Amino acid sequence: MSNGSQTVRVRKNAQQLGNGQDDLFWYAKSVAELKSRLFNDPTSWRYQAAVHGYNTAKDPDSGIGPFPRSQDQERFWSQCQHQTWYFLPWHRGYLAYFEQIVADAVVKVGGPPGWALPYWNYSGQNPNSRLMPDAFVNPTLADGTTNPLFVDGRNSATNDFQLSDQIVSLQSLSHSPFAGDASGSDPGFGGPQTAFSHFGGTSGLLESVPHNVIHDAIGGLMGDPETAALDPIFWLHHANIDRLWEVWTHRDVSFVDPTDASWLTGVTFELHDSTGAIQSYIASQMLDTTAVLHGYAYDDISDPLRANPALLAFASRIQLMARLPHPPHLVATSKVPINLKVPITAAEVVFDKQTVQAAAQSLQALPTPRPPRVYLNLENVTGTGQPGTYEVYIDTPPPGQEPRPQNGYFVGLMSTFGLEAASRPGGPHAGSGLTTVLEITEQVQHLRSQNRWDESRLHVLFVKEPPPQMAQAMVRARAADVSVGRISIYYH
Q: Residues in the site for ligand C2O, rule: CB under 6 A?
A: 52, 80, 82, 91, 211, 215, 225, 228, 238
Cis preceding linkage at 66, omega within 30 = yes
C-alpha to C-alpha distance for 82 and 88, rounded to whole angstroms? 9
CB of 80 to ligand C2O, least distance (A): 4
Omega into 468 within 30° of 0, i.e. cis? Answer: no
Question: What is the C-alpha separation between 14 and 32, in angstroms, rounded?
Answer: 19
**Which residues does residue 488 pair with via DSSP β-bridges, in sequence order?**
333, 377
CB of 228 to ligand C2O, least distance (A): 6
Q: How far apart are CB 222 and ligand C2O at their closest, in Å?
A: 8
Alpha helices in 189-302 (DSSP H): 205-206, 213-218, 233-251, 261-264
CB of 475 to ligand C2O, least distance (A): 20
Distance of CA 268 to the CA centre of its chain: 22
Give the residue at shortest CB distance from ligand C2O: 80
Extract the runs of DSSP E, i.e. beta strands, from 299-419: 329-333, 338-339, 344-351, 374-384, 390-394, 409-414
Consecutive H or E run containing 7: strand 6-7
Residue number, 175 or 215, with CB nearest to ligand C2O: 215
Q: How far is the CB of 58 from ligand C2O (least distance, A)?
A: 15
- How many angstroms separate the Cα of 176 from the Cα of each of 206, 309, 470? 11, 17, 39
Is the Cβ of residue 187 or residue 408 nearer to ligand C2O in the bound state?
A: 187
Nearer residue to ligand C2O within complex by CB, 219 or 403: 219
The nearer residue to ligand C2O, 31 or 206, going by C-beta atoms, is 206
In the bound complex, what is the minimum distance in angstroms from residue 370's beta carbon to ligand C2O?
36
By C-beta, is 227 or 441 nearer to ligand C2O? Answer: 227
C-beta of 84 vs 100, nearer to ligand C2O: 84
Nearest distance from C-beta of residue 207 to ligand C2O, angstroms: 8
Least Cβ distance, residue 433 to ligand C2O (angstroms): 17
How much is the CA Rg of the chain, to the nearest whole Å?
Answer: 23
Inter-residue contact 93 to 269 (CB < 8 Å)? yes
Closer Cβ to ligand C2O, 215 or 373, answer by number: 215
Alpha helix ranges (H) inside 344-449: 353-364, 419-423, 441-449
- Establish how many alpha carbons lie within 13 A of residue 178's alpha carbon, considering only the half-sphere containing its beta carbon: 22
Identify which of residues 118 and 184 has a Cβ nearer to ligand C2O in the complex.
Answer: 118
